[in-house]
């Protein structure tokens, strides 16, 4: 599996996930919304950790820097 996420993309995902966790811990979000956002936060953490977003792959999206190929 090739990496398709850049550093900025990963950082944004981690910040959003941390914000969701903070909202949950301060009881700002509860119930079904908390569960759904918790799953989203977990997905953001996981995809950031492995630098691969499965939703990017079918569309050919890559936010990481590509190495220049020499001819």
Give the per-residue pLDDT at 68.
55
SS3 42: helix
Query: Is the pLDDT reported for residue 67 higher than 90?
Result: no
Give the per-residue pLDDT at 46.
96
Report d(CA 58, CA 29) in Å as an integer. Answer: 33
Q: Give 64 or 11, the one with higher predicted confidence.
A: 11
Provide the residue ranges of all domains of the chain, joining segments of one domain with +: 14-51
């Amino acid at each position: 599996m090739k990496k398709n996420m850049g550093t900025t993309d990963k950082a944004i995902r981690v910040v959003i996930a941390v914000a969701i966790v903070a909202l949950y811990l301060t009881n700002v979000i509860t119930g079904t919304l908390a569960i759904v956002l918790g799953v989203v936060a977990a997905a953001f953490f996981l995809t950031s950790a492995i630098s691969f977003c499965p939703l990017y792959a079918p569309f050919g999206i890559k936010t990481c820097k590509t190495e220049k190929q020499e001819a």
